[in-house]
């Protein structure tokens, strides 16, 4: 089908300047063969704040950040934990997985813990530099994507994307393509995939950052520490170059009444009471750590049915990327990793298409979705299974501990995930 000549002038839009959207912009800007196709990134927030807490980056994710040349900017901001240490409800260590040199040796790249705000800032600076250099990129803040539909046939192929600038009427702009990286509550996904099953999980995460000099000495080590209790677990690890300990408490059956958002106070009172009751069942030394929290923030966890096919990730000239495509429970610590991989794969495929002289959104997105959906679905499923084991009680908890005590490396390591990179998937 011939493309309407004017349609080629319309931009490719990227929705959402979170980790995935910025990663895509940065990776795209690294390759001269993609400069003929400009990307415009639109973000709903007027200012990009550094809200958030810790994210873990497995070697599959750090390998990509290294390839993008971001390691020097991140080096002083990340922490490289020596091991993951798993404890049961009695506080006994039941399994350990060495990280640090062991992961570097095994997978050729490190395991990092980082404040989301630090990683976000490094990606944003890289994108801003490329915009200043005059690369074919634009960043438009304070613009919310609300809808997407096909252009009328009389106007050729392409999309109309409904954008609302703050305080203005909805305005439809023409675009050749839309890559939606607008996060777990994606408006594009709701608009373009109205039947996708996607819901609050009845689970919530409470997070706090404790300055390291206020952390009890026993918990200051460079470790990812995990406590598994009935219907809840707790994770703690250092971030910000070791200056803070990130602590997250994840609870089941608490979703009701917790507002949507990343930076909410634990309200209403009932939510606060449930949280306090959950903390009371923790072993005494963990309670001592949790008591150091200066304040808590809460967010509801979103879960989707695992992706079923490539059509769940891309249709025509619209593609989903990161949490918009595959929201997952954080029990594999791969939300950021999968967004970075998506960006890497999309860019690698775009380069191959550009070199072959056929950079068309619908074909590119079809190949992208084919390369990504099964791997992302596998991570979504594994995250759900981990939740069952982390929150087990009774005989199931006993069986879990027995398994971990005898085969921790086999159970806790994830070679199929850590060995892969977005690039391998794209070329494989
Ligand atoms: C403020 C914030 C704090 C977070 N804190 C943590 C944390 O502490 N720990 C953790 O594990 N994960 C956190 N996350 C989630 C984490 O960043 C993602 O799970 C993961 O990195 C995948 O990234 P993403 O790009 O798909 O989504 P996100 O990083 O969530 O980015 C989505 C972006 O899209 C923008 N957006 C949303 N809707 C629209 C729209 N309709 N139009 C235009 N723009 C839109 C959002 O403002 C945001 O900038 C946080 C996300 C956000 C937005």
311-351 pLDDT, tens per residue?
Answer: 999 999 999 999 999 999 999 999 999 999 999 999 999 99
Q: What is the pLDDT of residue 25?
A: 96
SS3 of 87, please? strand
Chain centre distance of CA 227: 22
What distance in Å separates the CA atoms of residue 327 and residue 198, rounded to the nearest whole number? 8
The average pLDDT across 296-301 equals 87
What distance in Å separates the CA atoms of residue 225 and residue 85, rounded to the nearest whole number? 5
Closest residue by CA, ligand 1 atom 21: 336
Count the neighbouring beta carbons within 10 Å of the beta carbon of residue 48: 16
Calculate the alpha carbon distances from 110 to 16, 82, 100, 104 in Å.
28, 11, 7, 5
Q: What is the pLDDT of residue 5?
A: 44
Higher pLDDT pick, 107 / 278: 107
DSSP-derived secondary structure letter, 30: T
pLDDT at 375 over 50: yes
CA-based R_g, the chain, Å: 22
What distance in Å separates the CA atoms of residue 141 and residue 161, rounded to the nearest whole number? 16
CB–CB of 245/238 below 8 Å? yes
Mean pLDDT over the full length of the chain:
89
Question: 179 in ligand 1 pocket by Cβ < 6 Å?
Answer: no
Of 34-38, 133-137, 164-168, the range with the lowest mean pLDDT is: 133-137
The H or E element that residue 356 is part of is: none
pLDDT at 356 over 90: yes
Q: What is the pLDDT of residue 270?
A: 63
Q: What is the pLDDT of residue 268?
A: 61
Q: What is the pLDDT of residue 428?
A: 34
Closest residue by CA, ligand 1 atom 29: 18
47-97 pLDDT, tens per residue?
Answer: 887 777 899 999 999 999 999 999 999 999 999 999 999 999 999 999 999
Residue whose CB lies within 8 A of the most ligand 1 atoms, among 146, 182, 301, for a mutation test: 182
Of 189-193, 215-219, 259-263, 401-405, the range with the lowest mean pLDDT is: 259-263
The sheet with strand 170-175 has its strands ordered as: 143-150, 159-165, 170-175
Question: 323 in ligand 1 pocket by Cβ < 6 Å?
Answer: yes
Tally the residues of the chain.
428
What distance in Å separates the CA atoms of residue 80 and residue 83, rounded to the nearest whole number? 9
213-246 pLDDT, tens per residue?
Answer: 999 998 998 999 999 999 999 999 999 999 999 9
State in Å, rounded, how far the first CA of the chain is from the last one: 29
What distance in Å separates the CA atoms of residue 86 and residue 173, rounded to the nearest whole number? 51
- Cα 183 to ligand 1 centroid, rounded to whole Å: 5
Question: 43 in ligand 1 pocket by Cβ < 6 Å?
Answer: yes
> pLDDT band for position 191 (50/70/90)?
confident
**Percentage above 70 pLDDT, the chain:** 92
pLDDT at 415 over 80: yes
Domains and CATH numbers, the chain: 5-198+304-427 (3.50.50.60)
Question: 51 in ligand 1 pocket by Cβ < 6 Å?
Answer: yes
Of 10-24, 27-41, 58-72, 253-267, the range with the lowest mean pLDDT is: 253-267
């Amino acid at each position: 089908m011939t493309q309407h000549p004017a349609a080629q002038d319309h931009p490719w839009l990227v929705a959402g300047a979170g980790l995935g959207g910025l990663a895509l912009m940065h990776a795209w800007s690294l390759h001269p063969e993609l400069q003929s196709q400009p990307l415009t990134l639109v973000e709903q927030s007027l200012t990009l704040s550094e809200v958030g807490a810790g994210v873990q980056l497995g070697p599959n994710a750090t390998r990509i950040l290294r390839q993008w040349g971001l390691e020097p900017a991140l080096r002083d901001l990340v922490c490289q934990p020596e091991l993951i240490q798993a404890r049961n409800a009695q506080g006994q260590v039941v399994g350990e997985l060495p990280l640090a040199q062991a992961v570097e040796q095994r997978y050729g790249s490190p395991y990092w813990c980082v404040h989301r705000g630090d990683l976000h800032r490094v990606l944003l600076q890289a994108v801003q530099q490329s915009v200043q250099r005059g690369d074919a990129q634009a960043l438009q803040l304070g613009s919310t994507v609300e809808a997407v539909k096909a252009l009328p046939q009389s106007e050729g192929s392409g999309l109309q994307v409904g954008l609302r600038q703050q305080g203005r009427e909805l305005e439809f702009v023409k675009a050749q393509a839309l890559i939606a990286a607008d996060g777990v509550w994606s408006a594009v996904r709701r608009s373009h995939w109205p039947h996708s099953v996607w819901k609050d999980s009845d689970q919530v995460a409470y997070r706090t950052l404790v300055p390291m000099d206020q952390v009890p000495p026993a918990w200051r080590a460079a470790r990812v520490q995990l406590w598994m209790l009935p219907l809840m677990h707790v994770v703690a690890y250092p971030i910000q170059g070791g200056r803070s300990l990130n602590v997250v408490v994840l609870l089941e059956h608490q979703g009701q009444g917790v507002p949507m958002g990343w930076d909410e106070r634990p309200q209403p009172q009932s939510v606060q009471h449930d949280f306090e009751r959950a903390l009371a069942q923790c072993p005494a030394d963990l309670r001592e750590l949790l008591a150091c929290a200066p304040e808590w923030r809460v967010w509801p966890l979103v879960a989707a049915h695992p992706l079923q096919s490539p059509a769940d990730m891309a249709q025509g000239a619209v593609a989903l990327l990161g949490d918009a495509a595959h929201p997952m429970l954080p029990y594999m610590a791969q939300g950021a990793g999968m967004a970075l991989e998506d960006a890497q794969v999309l860019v690698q495929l775009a380069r191959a298409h550009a070199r072959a002289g056929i950079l068309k959104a619908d074909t590119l997105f079809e190949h992208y979705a084919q390369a990504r959906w099964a791997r992302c679905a596998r991570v979504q499923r594994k995250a759900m299974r981990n939740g069952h084991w982390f929150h087990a009680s009774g005989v199931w908890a006993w069986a879990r501990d027995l398994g971990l005590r005898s085969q921790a490396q086999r159970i806790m390591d994830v070679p199929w995930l850590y060995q892969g990179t977005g690039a391998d998937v794209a070329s494989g």
